[in-house]
Amino acid sequence: MHDLTKGSETRLIILFSIPMLIGNLFQQLYNMVDSIVVGNWVGKEALAAVGASFPVIFLLLSLFMGFSMGSNILIAQYQGAKDEEKVKLAIETTYIFTFWASLVLMVIGFFGAEPVMRLLQSPPEVLPQASLYLRIFSLGMLPSLGFNTISGILRGLGDSRTPLYMLLVSTGINIVLDLVFVIFFGWGVAGVALATIISQTVSLIGSAWWLNRKHKLLKVNFLQLRFNRDIFMLSIKIGIPSGIQQSLVALGISAMTGIVNSFGTDAIAGYAAATRLDSLASLPSMTIAMALSTFVGQNLGARMPHRVKRGLNASLILSVSISVLAAIIFLVFGKELIGMFNRDPGVIRIGYSYLQIIGPCFVLFSVMFMYNGIIRGAGDTFMPLINTIVAMWLIRVPAAILFSRLFGVTGVWMAFPTGWLVGTIAGFFYYRSGHWLKIFERIHGHDKHIAAELGSD
């Protein structure tokens, strides 16, 4: 466990982020392996199918992710306040909700797969494989959500190493099964989906057993879990705006995918490959933002707001530096990186055009995420929701529609940094206003001086 209320802010955030980053990199690694295997051993249609189904999967998980984020913020704040009973109640309440939410999402995903993929204008040669992949993936909602729930709880407690070990096991199993199911058994996209379900199931069962034996706060009897209505409602109150935000992001990604789909299979496959790389490059900033949220939650919970601003500055320096490096790599080696997924010249050309435009703008993305991270750590999830509505739905999607008509598929890529710029500006001014600290005060009903204390730091 990391106590993030003592010691150098920069050192703490780096040490806490590194295991999370390595774990997230491995998670993205097996997502990339999925795409590389189907793109090279099945074909560009299969690559397009896996890529086209991703926004739908993200949408299915979004509302749950909001509740999970709300509970993790509370866990971090209770942990900072050293209130172990509330920490345990929050954990048990989260377990119960996760179980029922996974069943609901499994039914929705399985039966809604084909209608949704049709709605996204998936080409006829892509639709059957995309629908099949989504249906099979949906059957694994319980291990998927359970795996992510335990990881999130551990991060809220300040433990970022155990989730890393869990992901290493899951990733290793997934990669081996990808190769066996697709290359040797010839199961195509169905094999990739099955590999993901099996790997997460094995890792979830193993980690739940180990943590229940070794981890004090996570040692629970799953047949006697307690559901605390007050903590649940507070998690919902914090998490609903975040869940809606994630849903709007997912719908926005789906809308962007729908626009890309109108340009044909090469565009879908190139976009799928490029966004896998994009996801990999954006992970450091997203991970540092997650670490910053936990850092903020623990320090505000411990009534130490003076450390928050220094934590933000350290996070900005780290994330911006990594974003510049990622941009350089994309510009220099972009074609070769896209070529790992599929060697079709049309796919490489379109995928590289995405990296050329997105790469230099990663700095905007990283800064935007740092401001959102510090605001969420205080329990204020409403402002990030408003920011998403403006940046995604009032700026990015309309810009993609307009620019695609003017510049073709390249115009869709230009809409991404346009939205990030607006989101970054809005996040900066809201942070400076200090209103997010008043949200923390309102949640916990004390320490009314905390906003003034930070403002004078």
Instruction: Write out 256-289 in H/E/C secondary structure.
Output: HHHHHHCCCHHHHHHHHHHHHHHHHHHHHHHHHH
pLDDT, mean of residues 219-247: 78
Among 442, 130, 451, 69, smallest CA distance to 261 is for 130
pLDDT, mean of residues 102-118: 90
- Rg for the chain, CA atoms, rounded: 21
Q: Which two tokens stand for residue 78?
A: 């209770």
| Chain position carrying tokens 């190139």 | 270
Q: pLDDT above 90 covers what percent of the chain?
A: 27
Q: Between 359 and 71, name the one with better pLDDT.
A: 359
Q: What confidence category does residue 457 fall into, taking pLDDT thresholds of 50, 70 and 90?
A: very low
Q: Between 102 and 82, name the one with better pLDDT.
A: 102
Say what the pTM is. Answer: 0.69
pLDDT, mean of residues 230-248: 80
| Chain position carrying tokens 């916990």 | 444
Q: Which two tokens stand for residue 412?
A: 């869709």
Amino acid at 213: R
Q: Which two tokens stand for residue 75?
A: 């866990």
Q: What confidence category does residue 447 fall into, taking pLDDT thresholds of 50, 70 and 90?
A: very low
Q: What confidence category does residue 13 fall into, taking pLDDT thresholds of 50, 70 and 90?
A: confident
Contact between residue 311 and residue 300 where contact means Cβ atoms under 8 Å apart: no
Min mean pLDDT across 161-170, 181-190, 359-368 is at 161-170
| Chain position carrying tokens 């433990």 | 159
Q: Which two tokens stand for residue 62?
A: 């979004």
Structure confidence by residue, pLDDT tens digits, 171-195:
889 889 988 998 888 888 899 899 9
pLDDT confidence of residue 444: 64
| Chain position carrying tokens 């048990």 | 92
Contact between residue 349 and residue 270 where contact means Cβ atoms under 8 Å apart: yes
pLDDT confidence of residue 12: 86
Cα–Cα distance for residue pair 247/59, rounded to 1 Å: 5
pLDDT confidence of residue 90: 84
pLDDT, mean of residues 106-133: 87
pLDDT confidence of residue 301: 77
pLDDT confidence of residue 366: 94
Contact between residue 231 and residue 89 where contact means Cβ atoms under 8 Å apart: yes
Q: What confidence category does residue 356 fall into, taking pLDDT thresholds of 50, 70 and 90?
A: very high
Min mean pLDDT across 118-122, 314-318, 340-344, 418-422 is at 118-122
pLDDT, mean of residues 287-296: 88
Query: Where do runs of H (alpha helix) occur along 139-228?
Result: 141-156, 161-178, 188-214
